[in-house]
Amino acid sequence: MAKKAPRRTAERILASTLELFNRFGEPNASTTMISAELNISPGNLYYHFPSKDELVNTLFDQYESQLYELLAASTDVLDVEDAWFFLHSLFELIWQYRFLYRDVGHLLSRNRRLETHFPAILLRKRAALRQLLDTLQAKRAASAAEDRQRDAVAASMVVLLTYWLSYEYVLQPRSAMEPENAQDALLRGAYHVMGLLAPHLDEASRAHLTALIEAYDPATPDRSP
């Protein structure tokens, strides 16, 4: 059986950096910590990534590329079951790069690339979710008032997607970002975002949605002492 080729040093650095950023937060994970985790010299780390911002930007570029590919799939959402899967996939991707959301205020204040790109991400999310709403309400022509309402619902969904993990972290600062809590946190997030859709669907779609979200009715976690 052929052995797998070893991962290149740059790939190992990115994987380890993402893990440390996600677990401890980007401000708390230094390049010294990253090089120690990999058992390489700081010089070797800086050879591949000359600064910590370079690490952040490279990881952000990976996230941005994957996100835009996923958002493009909003046109494939045809019913509430597709919508559930689509939103859960969004939450999974956000979880994979959760340090960007956990530390978003800090990162935007000191990283020009994120400052200029993150607003566009939110707008693309809103457009994709508006597309989803329009598809699910295709049988109902929207008045001007309903059109504005759909925009408001899409924006509210983006707010939940963007700050859900921060909410989870505030409730459970010692454990919310740990991998073993991922599934429950993501299901809770998808549950609440889908709940925003319910009042805006026809009766059949609403019944289908109710069955989906009742299959997983997550309790809000208790606040850690």
CB-facing half-sphere around the CA of 95: CA atoms within 13 A: 22
Separation between Cα atoms, residue 85 and residue 212, nearest integer Å:
11
Domains of the chain, earliest start first: 1-50 (1.10.10.60), 55-215 (1.10.357.10)
**Closest listed residue to residue 79, CA positions, set 221, 215, 197:** 197
Residue 143 predicted with pLDDT over 80:
no
Query: pLDDT of 171-220, one tens digit each?
Result: 888 888 888 888 888 888 888 888 888 777 778 888 887 787 777 655 55
Task: Please write the tens of the pLDDT for every residue from 144-165.
Answer: 777 888 899 999 999 999 999 8
Band of residue 3 on the pLDDT scale cut at 50, 70, 90? very low
Whole-number average pLDDT of the chain: 86
Place of tokens 């590919």: 69
Q: What angle do CA 170, 219, 149 make, to 5 degrees?
A: 80
More confident residue, 224 or 83: 83
Residue 79 has pLDDT above 70, yes or no: yes
Give the model confidence (pLDDT) of 107-122 as tens digits.
Answer: 999 999 999 999 999 9
With beta carbons less than 8 A apart as the criterion, state whether 103 and 115 touch.
Answer: no
Give 31-35 contacts, CB < 8 A, sequence gap 24+: 31/55
Q: Compute the distance between CA of residue 116 and CA of residue 45 in angstroms, rounded to an integer.
A: 27
Q: How far apart are CA 173 and CA 133, in angstroms?
A: 34
pLDDT over threshold 50, residue 223 = no
pLDDT at residue 140, rounded to an integer = 58
What the block records as the tokens of 76 is: 């494939």
Model confidence band, residue 225 (pLDDT cutoffs 50, 70, 90): very low
Q: How far is residue 177 from each of residues 25, 81, 121, 171, measured CA to CA in Å? A: 9, 27, 22, 11
